[in-house]
A and B are shown apart, each in its own frame.
Chain A
Amino acid sequence: MFPKPPSLGKVLIFWQSWWDTQEKEGILPERAEEAKLKAKYPSLGQKPGGSDFLMKRLQKGQKYFDSGDYNMAKAKMKNKQLPSAGPDKNLVTGDHIPTPQDLPQRKSSLVTSKLAG
């Protein structure tokens, strides 16, 4: 004797609760996160992977005003690490127009990697 099949009403209830579980486990987390993001940044573009985002990726790298700006920035960084760098070269600005020879050149790294320590 076969067991009595479930009535149609019970089948529908089962299906609905199964679907709710699927929603909660799979789809909702990402959508919930998306909603959170849109709430914080309403002006976020419609095309997330679109041109702007990719263009930013292609353009990576710090921009400087010109090569002089770049060399000065590098020198500032180097002077922090190597306090023994020539003091004369640092007194260039303010007194006279610097020439390329006066500007501190980027020295090759004297600091060895800590892995080679």
Chain B
Amino acid sequence: EIDWSDIISTVEFNHSGELLATGDKGGRVVIFQQEQENKIQSHSRGEYNVYSTFQSHEPEFDYLKSLEIEEKINKIRWLPQKNAAQFLLSTNDKTIKLWKISERDKRPEGYNLKEEDGRYRDPTTVTTLRVPVFRPMDLMVEASPRRIFANAHTYHINSISINSDYETYLSADDLRINLWHLEITDRSFNIVDIKPANMEELTEVITAAEFHPNSCNTFVYSSSKGTIRLCDMRASALCDRHSKLFEEPEDPSNRSFFSEIISSISDVKFSHSGRYMMTRDYLSVKIWDLNMENRPVETYQVHEYLRSKLCSLYENDCIFDKFECCWNGSDSVVMTGSYNNFFRMFDRNTKRDITLEASRENNKPRTVLKPRKVCASGKRKKDEISVDSLDFNKKILHTAWHPKENIIAVATTNNLYIFQDKVN
């Protein structure tokens, strides 16, 4: 029986890969830290251990609409490290918070007026003066909220993205995108607004948004209709008109009731190089060259066998699942999750793909993962799994790849798996 609040809702490595943050439905953030490499045991990279955990968001009540505001953490994004402390942004549906995570490994001892436990001494008993000194103590990691960016979103926040200027960031909800300055909490600029004057005319919503990794004036946002718009903030203050529109033409004879639903983009991620972007829709992962708007340059089928199951996937709402996707550090491999605790990797150079499983039952620690195969139809070979025996409650929606090494973090419903490639 899974405790609802333990369901992992986001996973993100920091810029160096030393820290890994997870957010859950209970509004908590857990940060893992990679052990510093043991010089003697150079055959494996350091393991990740719990570094800090804190309650980021609490549930709230929207009095105007009588709606609950969930404390679920939708996204976490790290700031690059500038000093000894680490900073991250975490957001739920309505409020974004900037958290400072700092270490304390020394404390002052030898106060004149206070005992070691904090009680004040009777001043009349003080006969000599001494200078307090800092003494080492057990490492304590503290998290404190430094900024709270609230009340800027009428709809539910789905994305936050820090600009390459490291001063501003964007937050996107279903209909609007706002630009914030990290230092200023009482004001934000609206840069995209797709809310129609008449809500009856609503045909699409914003599903994800991200800043370009190098150009601080450029960002993209994806829609529920399968389009991606690239906007340039130098063009105008309100970027309602896109600079580029990425859309793959659809053969109208192929259209079905499900077409629009499965074309809805659940995640968009720029490559580290900034030349490409990747989108995830229900059945596939697409790589787009920013210089070509009329179709993606690469398409990878994640679980095409589900196309003949769309009716039941619509009935059990699985067709609305929002899978994320990620690049490896060199942009040569992309990864995304699927059902039955399977996740998939596609090598863009060799065009080879692999399906792996994140589960304790089938994999012992420190053994190489065995590739999995789903049998779509016909005779099932030994070790293959048939589509009908897939567990659709075991979804891998969130995955992350270490920015520099081949270490991946894969979140099943309420467990976090960290895999690394064999180092010899």
Contacts and interface: CB of A to CB of B under 8 A. Distances in A.
A106 B58 contact: yes
Interface in A79-117: 106, 108-109, 111-117
A108 B55 contact: yes
A59 to B, nearest CB: 8
B67 A62 contact: yes
Interface in A27-77: 27, 29-34, 36-38, 40, 44, 48-51, 54-55, 57-67, 70-71, 74
B226 to A, nearest CB: 10
A53 to B, nearest CB: 8
Contacts of B374: none
- A contacts with B: majority SS: helix
A27 B61 CA distance: 46
B66 interface: yes
A56 to B, nearest CB: 10
B42 interface: no
Given A27-B254, A50-B203, A61-B69, A33 B174 contact: no
Contacts of A115: 6, 8, 22, 24, 30, 50, 53, 416
B375 interface: no
Interface residues of B, number: 56
A3 interface: no
Contacts of B260: 48-49
Contacts of A65: 66
A70 B63 CA distance: 10
B414 interface: yes
A61 B66 CA distance: 10
B204 interface: yes
B70 A113 contact: no
Contact of B254 (A30, A33, A63, A116): A30
Contacts of A59: 67
B34 to A, nearest CB: 16
B202 A114 contact: no
Given A33-B311, A62-B67, A67-B63, A54 B224 contact: yes
A54 B26 contact: no
B189 interface: no
A34 B175 CA distance: 29
Given A26-B254, A34-B256, A54 B61 contact: no
Nearest to B310: A33
Contacts of B199: 51, 55
Contacts of B264: 49
Contacts of B67: 59, 61-64
Contacts of A36: 311
A54 B155 CA distance: 12
A28 to B, nearest CB: 9
A29 B309 CA distance: 8
Contact of A51 (B24, B200, B259): B200
Contacts of A48: 257-258, 260-261
A37 B253 CA distance: 19
B89 to A, nearest CB: 19
Nearest to B414: A114
Nearest to B27: A109
Nearest to B416: A115
A55 B202 contact: yes
A58 to B, nearest CB: 5
Contact of B5 (A30, A55, A66, A111): A111
Interface of A: 26-27, 29-34, 36-38, 40, 44, 48-51, 54-55, 57-67, 70-71, 74, 106, 108-109, 111-117
Which 3 pairs show the lowest CB-CB distances between chains A and B? A49-B260, A116-B53, A29-B308
20 contacts: A30-B256, A33-B308, A34-B310, A37-B311, A44-B257, A50-B203, A51-B199, A51-B200, A54-B203, A61-B93, A62-B67, A67-B61, A70-B68, A108-B58, A109-B27, A112-B28, A113-B30, A113-B53, A115-B53, A115-B416
Interface of B: 3, 5-6, 8, 22, 24, 26-28, 30, 50, 53, 55, 58-59, 61-63, 65-70, 93, 155-156, 174-175, 199-205, 224-225, 253-254, 256-261, 264, 307-311, 314-315, 414, 416
